[in-house]
């Protein structure tokens, strides 16, 4: 996996999963991310223009009441734990996981075939869908990663 620059984990993860060179994505977006990185919406637009849909799956979805502004965690009619739901959406899919690294800094990794591919380290690791301290976590304890959002990428053309 290529690390384009220190702000490019989102771009590099999208490039890895889609099989599109980072330079081509940079050309589509119109900047190289230097000093500001990339926003997921820039990559979603690029993916759509290249025949791929991106669906956001939140690990802990929340809703805000329009009057009181009180937040509540969403519950689904199927019931069950939110981590189980999140893990179900990861099974046999590919996309980009957004979350935090060991320093609690925002980070993105590519997701394919129950493995993460980390642009920061260039390593691939098996990802635990269960039985880790926080329910989901990276096996590579040297570079832990906690996912918050899954951007599922699906070919539409």
Q: What's the pLDDT tens digit per position in 35-75?
A: 788 999 999 999 999 999 999 999 889 999 889 999 988 88
Cα–Cα–Cα angle for 148, 154, 156, rounded to 5 degrees: 145
Per-residue exposure over 10-48, b if at least 16 CB sit within 10 Å of its own CB, e if not: bbbbbbbbbebebeebbeebeebbeeebbebebbbebbe
Backbone φ and ψ of 60, nearest 5°: -125, 75
Does the predicted model carry a pTM greater than 0.75? yes
**Amino acid 88: pLDDT:** 86
pLDDT interval class at 119 (50, 70, 90):
confident
Give the C-alpha separation, 39 to 106, whole Å: 12
Asked if the model's pLDDT at residue 1 lies above 60, the reply is no
DSSP-assigned letter for residue 78: T
The secondary element (H helix, E strand) that includes residue 89 is helix 82-90
**CA dist list (Å): 157 to 47, 52, 57, 61:** 11, 7, 22, 29
pLDDT interval class at 128 (50, 70, 90):
low
Report the range of poorest mean pLDDT among 28-37, 90-99, 142-151: 142-151
Give the C-alpha separation, 40 to 137, whole Å: 22
**Amino acid 26: pLDDT:** 95
Architecture of domain 9-155: Alpha-Beta Complex (3.90)
The mean pLDDT value of the chain amounts to 85
Average pLDDT in the 146-157 region?
Answer: 91
Share of the chain above pLDDT 90, in %: 47
């Amino acid at each position: 996996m290529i690390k384009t620059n220190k702000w490019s984990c989102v771009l590099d993860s999208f490039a890895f999963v889609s099989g599109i060179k980072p330079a081509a994505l940079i050309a589509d977006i119109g900047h190289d991310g230097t000093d500001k990185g990339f926003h997921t919406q820039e990559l979603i637009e690029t993916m759509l223009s290249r025949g791929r849909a991106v669906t956001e799956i939140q690990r802990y979805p929340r809703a805000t009441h329009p009057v009181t502004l009180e937040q509540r965690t969403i519950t689904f009619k199927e019931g069950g734990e939110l981590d189980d739901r999140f893990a179900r959406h990861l099974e046999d899919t590919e996309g980009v996981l957004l979350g935090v690294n060991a320093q609690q800094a925002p980070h993105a990794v590519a997701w394919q075939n129950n493995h993460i591919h980390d642009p920061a380290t260039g390593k691939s690791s098996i990802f635990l869908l269960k039985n880790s301290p926080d329910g989901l976590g990276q096996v590579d304890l040297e570079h832990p990663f906690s996912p918050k959002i899954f951007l599922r990428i699906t070919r539409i053309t």
